[in-house]
Every structure is written in C-alpha cells, then in structure tokens.
Amino acid sequence: MIIKHKKSLIIGAVFLVVILLLFLSDQRIKIIDKTNELMRSSSLKYGTRLLSQINQIVVHHSASIGQTAEDYARYHVQSKGWPGIGYTFILEIDGTIVQAHPLNVVSYNTGGVNTRTIGICLSGDFTKQEPSPQQLKSLKKLIKYLRKTLPQQLAVYGHKDYGTTSCPGPHLYKHLKQFQFA
Ligand SMILES: [Zn+2]
C-alpha cells in the first residue's frame, strides 16, 4: 500500500514537472534573426542611436495579404529607395517573430519619431482581416521582452496615432489598448 502510494506520488511529480516545462517553453520568446539576411541598399545606410533614446513601440500592419519580411524589405529598398526594411520586427501570420535590425539602428517607420521608436509590423491587412491568434500572442511576448530588455518605459502606439494613415487597421488597433500603462 505504501509502495503504491509512493509510486503515484512520483507519477504526480513527473506530471507536474512536464506541465511546468511546457508552460515555460511556451513563455520563452523565439526570435528569428534576419538582421544580415534581408535586402538592403548597397549605397545607403541607416543611422544609429543609443538604446536609452528609445521610448516607444509603434505597431504597423503590412496592408497586404500573403506577404512576408522579404517582400517588405524589397519594397522599401527598391521602390522607396530606403537603406533597408523600415521595421525593426515583423510578426508573420504564423506568429514567427523576425528581427530585421539591431535595436540601435534607426530605420524608417514612423515619420518624425524614428529615433525613439521601435517599429513592429504584423503581416496582413487589418482593415480587412483579423490578426491571427499566433500573431497576437507573439506581439504580447515581444512587447514584454522589449520592456524587460530596455530599462526605460516603453509606450505602445499604433501608426495612426501619428498621422493620416489607417495603419495598423482597426482589427489590430483595438488590441493595442491592453499594452498602455495603467
Ligand atoms: Zn504603418
């Protein structure tokens, strides 16, 4: 009887550890580093900043369906003539988090405030569709990670807070409120 009891205790403990490990691995952030991979200009180069100059995150959408970081990089370099892709992070439709620049690089994403902004773009057109649950989960993880990585407070805005654009679309914008400071 005692032996049987011991056995079930061990099984119970192993079960708890497995659940805990599953929980922890789900909390961990996985970032795909494409800082040296995406198309960039051969002649132009983005400037840099001190990490202490960053005080906000601006969320965008790609306003396109079925495109990825590679497409935005090509568009920004070839059509807009920028030094490289405008966003620091891209969240693909399956939730994959792509980093396009180190945090100290000032890329173009929000006119007039690029130096203090980390631009995050979710792939999709959220005037027409909802962001995927995986994208929203990744956005939450990434914001939490950035707020942990940088000691200063980071506010979260949508691109439309800065001008006459519908970016990041109402279906994504409505999710941003939860990230404001209480
Ligand atoms: Zn935008």
The type of residue at 13 is: A
Residue 8 within a domain? no
Contact at 8 Å (CB) between 38 and 92?
Answer: no
Assess if residue 106 is contained within a domain.
yes
User: Could you read off the pLDDT of 107-146 as tens digits, one per residue?
Assistant: 999 999 999 999 999 999 999 999 999 999 999 999 999 9
Distance 118 CA to ligand 1 centre (A): 12
The CATH number for 111's domain is 3.40.80.10
Average per-residue pLDDT in the chain?
A: 94
- Average pLDDT on 9-20 reads 86
Tell how far the Cα of 30 is from the centroid of ligand 1, in angstroms: 24
Instruction: Provide long-range contacts, Cβ within 8 A and 24+ apart, for 162-166.
Output: 162/58, 162/110, 162/111, 162/112, 162/113, 163/111, 166/127
- Ligand 1 centroid from CA 141, angstroms: 20
Do the domain assignments include residue 2? no
With vertex at residue 89, the alpha carbon angle to CA 85 and CA 62, rounded to the nearest 5 degrees, is 65
25 or 113, higher pLDDT: 113
Please give the model's pTM, rounded to 2 decimal places. Answer: 0.89
Spacing, Cα 163 to ligand 1 middle (Å): 10
Three-state secondary structure call for residue 33: strand
User: Which domain covers residue 156, as residue numbers?
Assistant: 31-179
The number of folded domains in the chain is 1
Query: In this structure, is residue 50 part of a structural domain?
Result: yes
Whole-number Å distance, alpha carbon 54 to ligand 1 midpoint, is 18
User: What is the total residue count of the chain?
Assistant: 182
pLDDT-wise least confident of 14-18, 24-28, 55-59, 103-107: 24-28
152 domain-assigned: yes
Is 7 part of any domain? no
> For residue 22, is it within any domain?
no
Judge whether 63 lies within some domain. Answer: yes
169 to 19, 41, 123, 137, 175: CA distances (angstroms): 37, 29, 12, 18, 11
State the pLDDT at residue 3.
66
For residue 113, the CA-to-ligand 1 centroid distance in Å is: 13
